[in-house]
Chain A
Amino acid sequence: MAIETKGLSLWYGDFQALFDVDLSVREGQITSMIGPSGCGKSTFLRTINRINERHSYVRTEGGVEVFGEDVMAEDVELVQVRKQIGMVFQRPNALPISIRENVLFGLKLHSTKKMSRAKQDDEVEKALRRVLLWDTVKDRLGDVATSLSLEEQQKLCIARLLPMKPRVLLMDEPCSALDPKATSAVEDLIWELRGEYTILIVTHNMAQARRASDECIFMLMGKVIEHTKTEEMFLTPGHQETADYIEGRYG
């Protein structure tokens, strides 16, 4: 299993956002996570790479294992966790530096010695090719990344994770700021990455979950209601709540 949580609960102060979540996400697959607003999807994602903890009022209980290793353990290096578990956000957040520097940002953070220019060029090209962005930006790698279109920025946000060789990519509604055409382009890209990376993607778009994932998790009020093959969930949902949500009978 790529990600496995056992009895995971989380509190923001007194407010409990996750209840006893047991989930296993399969390696190399795309797993989508759906559920109404506020049900704890983002919270779950942010717990896996332990980014939630920077709020002092957050308390977690239970275990999270990534490729069999306990990421909650005392001796775990958070920097390594975040390096190996990449995250893509709802709003593309390309950094206000050049396209090239965006791609190299993570690498530079984590390398002690200076990389040769040729090696850097190579990494930049590889990552940008992987996200189908190379041809559009290869002549303007020095331009500031925030001048790109949202679609391009979001692809860049994925590209900049790749040089760090992450094993898991967490995506929190990566297409919700994009128009339909850009959405489909980014979706295609995510599908491209299938197999090489384990991808957990939160989406409000039922069609997207259905099209673009192997397995699907349905959450409701901090609890996992159902987790099955995507096809099954959409054809024969096992719970009334799931059926209601899929058919749009929830807010």
Chain B
Amino acid sequence: MSSFQTTDLNQSNRRKESLVRILLGMVTLTLIIPVGIILVTLIAKSEGTFSWAFFSEFPRNSMTEGGIFPALVGTLWLVAVALLASVPFGVAAAIYLSEYAEDTALTRAINLAIINLAGVPSIVHALFGVGAFVLFFEFGTSILAASLTMAVMTLPVVIVATRESLQAVPQPFREACWNMGATRWQTIWRIVLPNSISGILTGVILEVSRTVGETAPIMFTGAALFLPFLPTSVYDQTMAMSLHLYVISTQVPDVPEGLPYGVALTLIAIVMILNSVSIGFRTYLRGKKKW
């Protein structure tokens, strides 16, 4: 008898192996199904909605006709201002936490706060935004108040993503710099940041894609149901894609069936494009990795 022959144990193990593989595969598949159904439904039902006018015109006839132009522009404003607020603060805080802070009780408290902040429901952020930005700082219901609310909400994501990319830069590089007499900042500026910028950008793009879809935090702080003009400054109110979708799906009578589906598909498309850009970017930079 050869010593390399299959035993009963081998066979039973192999059967278990294929069973487990099939089970896991099926679970994964069921996860993809809803996404697929959503996409297919959206595409099917929004049939005929899309045209150049859909993207370039104002809504007409109590939002039952016309396009989504002011909502698109408004979302752009909201996201841009939110980024301007959250990225500098978030990156600065992450640099401090990753490169400067000693492991003290205070640092640990801050880290805990960041994690908890990420878990706060967005409606709570919305109410905070009303209290802090709309009322206390007297920004009124405006792009500024809405964007700052979103910025506070997404700050943890920026901080965590940035800190992780900073921490991915191997410690020996820092030690080499310090041992040549580089200060912390020289080390960060010349070595750490150039090697983590890809990760930071990826985090930022992911944040954007999250921000695009948020409704609650902008509902009470700066987004309007309908405005016949575009915002001209951060103190104006604005329409936004997410809120527009909510409004025409639930608040306005006699909306043609395709319209909400078209808005929803556009919203999802924006998020997907952003995510693909982010993933593509990461893959590209990972290929260029220098160590």
Contacts and interface: CB of A to CB of B under 8 A. Distances in A.
Say whether chain B's binding surface is mostly helix, strand, loop, or mixed: helix
B173 A93 contact: yes
Contacts of B195: 96
Interface residues of A, number: 30
A15 to B, nearest CB: 17
A95 B191 contact: yes
B21 interface: no
Interface string B165-178: 00000101101111
Contacts of A54: 178
Contact of A106 (B181, B183, B191): B181
A82 B181 contact: yes
Nearest to A80: B181
Contacts of A49: 179
A212 interface: no
Interface string B28-65: 00000000000000000000000000000000000000
**Interface size bracket, B side:** 10 to 19
Nearest to B288: A144
Contacts of A94: 176
Interface in B159-206: 170, 172-173, 175-183, 186, 190-191, 195
A105 B173 contact: no
Interface stretch (A25-33, A83-91, A186-194): A83-91
Contacts of B182: 109
Interface string A70-101: 00000000111111001101010111110000
9 nearest A-B pairs in the assembled complex, by CB-CB distance: A96-B290, A93-B172, A82-B181, A83-B181, A79-B181, A106-B180, A87-B179, A93-B176, A146-B291
Interface of A: 49, 51, 54, 56, 78-83, 86-87, 89, 91, 93-97, 105-106, 109-110, 144, 146-147, 157, 160-161, 164
26 contacts: A79-B183, A81-B181, A82-B178, A82-B180, A86-B180, A87-B179, A89-B175, A93-B170, A93-B173, A95-B173, A95-B191, A96-B173, A96-B191, A96-B290, A97-B190, A97-B191, A106-B180, A106-B181, A109-B182, A110-B181, A144-B290, A146-B291, A157-B176, A160-B180, A161-B180, A164-B181
